[in-house]
Amino acid sequence: MPVSPSQPPRDLREEPSYTEAVDQLGISVRRLDELLLAITWIVAHDPESLPAIPNTPFRMARSQVIVGEPVLRVYFTIGSDELCQLWWVDLAEDVIDEDEAVEDVG
């Protein structure tokens, strides 16, 4: 579903578990900020478009796949029409190399 320009973005609340996980990632602050900015933008503007994790209240947003870069995943819940709660962030286990790269994995 496309993002409606008339619909204001939801507020994002970083839960303590999320803040702690961000601190433990070990990624340079500048690079981490770039990755999280893109992920949290879509969470704030169109969270329903992101996949739900079966049998949990959580959804997951991830960074774009870039060759040689880790994929960052953010786990969140939709608290209301005005709020999403960020609960956890981690790195996908594998870094994609050029031989495995695909243009877009959705």
Spatial CB neighbours of 64, under 8 Å, sequence gap ≥ 6? 38
Domain membership of residue 29 (yes or no) is yes
Domain membership of residue 26 (yes or no) is yes
Name the domain count of the chain. Answer: 1
* Residue 14: strand pairing partners: 86
Which CATH number does the domain housing residue 33 bear? 3.30.2310.20
Predicted pLDDT at 32: 85
Domain membership of residue 30 (yes or no) is yes
| Span 89-105, pLDDT tens digits | 998 865 545 444 444 43
Domain membership of residue 97 (yes or no) is no
Domain membership of residue 27 (yes or no) is yes
What global pTM score does this model have? 0.79
Termini Cα distance of the chain: 14
Q: Find the domain containing 87 and state its range.
A: 11-91
